[in-house]
Amino acid sequence: MTLLAVNGGSPIRSQQWPLWPAPAPGALDALNEVLHSGRWAISGPYQGKQSFERRFAAAFAEFHGIGHCVPTSSGTASLMVALEACGVGAGDEVIIPGLTWVANASTVAGVNAVPVPVDVDPQTLCLDPAAVERAITSRTAAIVVVHLYSAVADLDALTAIAERHGIPLIEDCAQAHGARYRDRRVGTFGAFGTFSMQHSKVLTSGEGGAVITGDPALSRRAEHLRADGRTYTPDEPAVGEMELAQTAELMGSNRCLSEFQAALLLGQLELLDEQNERRRANAALLDEGLGALGIQPQVSSPGTTERTYYEWAGRISDDGIGQIGVERIAPAVAAELSGAAIYASYPPMNHNRLYRPATRSRFEGVPGLDLTGYSLPVAEDAGQRVVTIHHSALLGDESDMKDIVRAFEKVFANHRELRG
């Protein structure tokens, strides 16, 4: 008789998991206020009170202890704004991690530059500083570091490399809202910190993003780039007038956050620290329980003073179970847990099926965009043996964490069922 739920057996759990996204108290009232405000976007006419977009920008900048925040329509938009604000353009090279979401490569191609994936550290799964150093050429125009899953990259080493070579460092914090390194929030170490507020993120408005910076000149460039070449007026406009001035300084595109999204984010931001603390406590339980099964938890760089958990991640051991591959193990565990969000790691960027510039005519004939020739052995191993657990499960309680451990135990005990 089949034992595993993925093969028709009975799952170990029937209860549902915490729903994500979960609206903050007052979310409905905030959305209703926008609905009847006469202003649904920063590009709409001023109505005599500060926009939700500007209120969120101020709150997010204060949260990070930094001078400037420019909200954007998505995390992808935030990356493209940051790259272009730093002067990245045609023919430039941008170093990115070999293990990350596809947008880190596609956004580089999107600003007419060339992504250069380098391998990651086997413990943190973030950029390997030594690999970054080896990849720098005379064409390197930026380094994009991703704080992946629950780890913070080695910012001591990476900022030193960037400063030594005079190359801007851009921190992709899409999975690290609220994390700290050397007691500073991540996103404040590079020229820009970029954020995604997409549906799955720990701070979300469905879609959305932001860039933060301590440099007023870079902030002004970012404002122009995300609002069709417009920036905030220096003085409060009259009711009915536009709050965005057409300066003609820098051509941009429309990558603005809506007032509805900004209103949601203001409330969600107030919950973030408490939610992150709950995720950390539950992650510690998983470190112990899943570690005892031979799953090595992802670690963060030594300078990390506060982790956040977009995903709990761990590497399955090299024994017979590990050889099955996470692409089979993850759905089997999820089936035992009423469809909990258990996933395989991202594939390495040199084999990422979502990165296919040849399918778009705008990239035809552009040299250097094919990444299949890169060697990324650590990222490739992670793609085969790293399993992740979405942060929504970490908003549960201790009994929920025990269910996760029990599910892995059952799948491991019956792993022969998964062999093809």
Active site residues: 201
DSSP secondary structure code for residue 409 in this structure? H
Helices and strands counted in the chain (H then E)? 11, 16
Give, to the nearest 10 degrees, the angle between helix 326-336 and helix 398-413.
Answer: 130
Alpha-carbon distances of 380 from 102, 125, 154, 195, 253, rounded to whole Å: 15, 11, 21, 26, 36
Give the DSSP letter of residue 149. Answer: T
Return the structure tokens found at 327.
């692409």
Angle between helical axes of 259-291 and 27-35 (0-180°, round to 10): 160
Angle at 57 (CA atoms; ends 56, 60), nearest 5 degrees? 80
According to DSSP, residue 241 is labeled: S
State the Cα–Cα distance between residues 284 and 101, nearest whole angstrom: 25
- Reference 383, options 342, 330, 326; nearest CA is 326
Q: Token digits for 349?
A: 């960027």
Structure tokens at 28: 């409905």
Asked if 246 contacts 40 with a C-beta cutoff of 8 angstroms, the reply is no
Residue reference for tokens 């979300």: 204
Alpha-carbon distance of 138 to 26, in angstroms, equals: 52
